[in-house]
Homo-oligomer: A and B are copies of this chain.
Amino acid sequence: MIFSSKAEYGVRLMVELGRQSPEHPTSLKAVAEAEGLPLAYLEQVVARLRKAELVMSARGAHGGYWLARAPEEISMDEVVQALEGAIAPMECFVNEHTERVLCSHEPDAGRGCATKLLWTRVQGGIIRSLQQTTLADLVEFSKRGEPVAGESVSPTTLGRSAKAELRAGAAA
């Protein structure tokens, strides 16, 4: 498993907010009930999104959360990064100071570190796919089950519909 449930819950929350009009704030309770998620835990999740300035909040009665920007301008790598911390395939990537036995990547010390090359490529693959997906893509998909054809879909999809992507893409 790669991402924790924080990412899952947080993304769902963002999608839910994206479905609402930003006129009036949405309470966490409403989101928790709609998605069947524990409210108290959602509070911790949304706190990360707020600190990253991806959502805004209003306290008190009829308070709640709403998106800080339009869904089209929120790329999912920001969201996932806010929820999960640095996006890295290996421990030594996130904290260079944690010099555990696990990681002996000497920094550019003559002979190249083979695993670092591999993890760098993987990291690139992850980040690219996250960057090329906006929150608007997900909101659209959740509304119709399929994004509008001819819209500014990310380059990777190359015209394939999101549904076809789902069927084909999961083949490991």
Q: Which of A109-131 contact B (CB under 8 A)?
A: 110-130
Stoichiometry, as copies per complex, reads 2
Q: Are A104 and B36 in contact (CB under 8 A)?
A: yes
Give the shortest distance, in Å, between A99 (CB) and chain B (any CB): 12
Mostly, the A contact residues are: helix
User: Which residue of B2, B102, B141 is within 8 Å of A2 (Cβ)?
Assistant: B2
Q: Which residues of B contact A108 (CB under 8 A)?
A: 166
Give the shortest distance, in Å, between A123 (CB) and chain B (any CB): 7
Q: Are B5 and A102 in contact (CB under 8 A)?
A: yes
The interface stretch among A20-28, A42-50, A52-60, A88-96 is A88-96
Q: Which residues of B contact A119 (CB under 8 A)?
A: 3
Residues of A within 8 A of B (CB): 1-3, 5, 7-8, 11-12, 15, 35-38, 76, 81, 86-91, 93-94, 101-104, 108, 110-130, 132-133, 137-139, 141-146, 156, 162-163, 165-166, 169-170, 172
